[in-house]
Structures are given as C-alpha cells and as structure tokens.
Amino acid sequence: MAQIFHPATNTAIRLGVVFFGVIGPLATLIIGSAITRSPFNTGVGVASAQPVPFSHEHHTVELGIDCRYCHTSVEKSAEAGAPATETCMSCHSQIWTDSPLLEPVRDSYRTGKPLVWTRLNSVPGFVYFPHNIHVNRGISCNNCHGPVQKMMLTYKGKAFFMVWCLNCHRQPEKFVSDRNFVFDLYKHYQTGKMTDKERDIAEGETHENTGADLERGEALLTQYHVKKAQLTDCSVCHH
C-alpha cells in the first residue's frame, strides 16, 4: 500500500503533542498567573477617583499632619477610619475656602451628607485584619500600604496576597518595631534624617530586621505577648 502521509508527519504530531499537552497548558498557567498578579487585577499603583483629590504627600509631609488626625481609630479599632467632613472643615473653613476642588467637602458640611470615599484597600469577608493590633506592635502603615507619604493621589500599595501575610506571621521578629516607630517615621522623613530601616519602609520596600533590630524584635515579641506559634493558625485571620 502506498504511503499516504509524508514521513515528517510523525515528527509534526509529536511536536503537536508536546506543545498542546505540555507547553500550551504551562504557558496558559504562566500567563494567567501574571495577569492575576498584575495591576490590571490587583489595582496596585492605580489611583481611583475620589470625591476630592486628597494628597497624603501635601498633608503628611508638607504640612506635618499626624495620620491619627484623620484616621482617628487606627490605634483602637480594627478599622483605621476615614475622616468625617467636620475634620476636613476644621482647616478648610479657614483656608482654601473658595477652592472648586473642595466644593464636595463644603456641600457635605452644608447638607450633612457624608462624603463617599472609594475604598482602595480591602480584604475578603472571610479575612479578619485588625489595624490596631498591627500598629500597636510597630508595624508601619507603609508595610502594607506602600509609600503613603509620597502619594499625591492615593493608590493601593500592596496586593495583600496570603503568602505575603504569612511571611510576616512566620517570623514576626523580623518586622515588629517599637510603637513610636510607626508615626515617627513620617517626622524623620520630613527632616531627611532616617535609618536604613526607615528609608526602606518609607519607600514602601519590604524590610526585614537584622542585627540589633532583630534582637530588639525578638525582645518585643515577649513585651507584646506575641504567641508566635499561633500566628499561622487559620483561625487567627479566618473567623
């Protein structure tokens, strides 16, 4: 019987099996993973529209306003809290009183209708994250939110992947600091006199304690009554 297919057909079929059976699925997995971790999906680095174009850089660095002036519950509650209109108007009833950009604030104050801010950072409903516990153990805002003090318009600084949280929970001594570190960071940023640790965290980079800072971190775990062995229990974050 005459040969129907060219001898090269066998090679083509083998290559097809390799591509569609191995390379194809692998490429799909890699591309899909890249998309799910990209700003397109996570929103990291993307500023969202807000009722007022609020600048953390202006208020925190240029004016030196303490974070807690607006986020009043960050040390006491699971939620950091957003400022009430009255908080904004404590300054803006005196300055920039005719700015068109601040008309939504003035209208909110006149009508008593709260400003509706677009939430940038959130976790799923099955995840429990208490701001007060982290802040009171010296975990800087920038550890989770990126270089907030540099944001002219606020954007999401980190993606909040579970493995990222676990890296800290597995070795908390590498991340905890004294309580005053959290807010002193911005004061030192204003002066430009910062330690290497402060400089890394101010830039939104992941910094792990080493040397004397690591020894201090280990001591702080005892001082803060941190039960390291329990930090990776599912029930710590998933209630």
Look up residue 39 and give its amino acid: P
Return the pLDDT at 5: 64
The band of 43, judged by pLDDT with boundaries at 50, 70 and 90, is confident
Q: Residue 233 carries which side chain, given as an amino acid letter?
A: D
Record the pTM: 0.83
Alpha-carbon distance 5 to 129, whole Å?
A: 64
Average pLDDT over residues 95-100: 94
Distance of CA 158 to the CA centre of its chain: 4
Residues 6+ apart with CB under 8 A from 213: 177, 197
Give the pLDDT of residue 184: 97
More confident residue, 20 or 87: 87
The pLDDT of residue 150 is above 80: yes
Exposed e or buried b for every residue in 48-74, given b needs 16+ CB within 10 A?
eeeebebebbebbbeeeeebbebbbeb
**Average pLDDT over the chain, rounded to whole?**
91
Residues 193-232 pLDDT 10s: 999 999 999 999 999 999 999 999 999 999 999 999 999 9
Q: Residue 44 pairs with which residues in a beta bridge?
A: 156
Nearby residues of 109 by Cβ (< 8 Å), 6 or more positions away: 85, 86, 89, 93
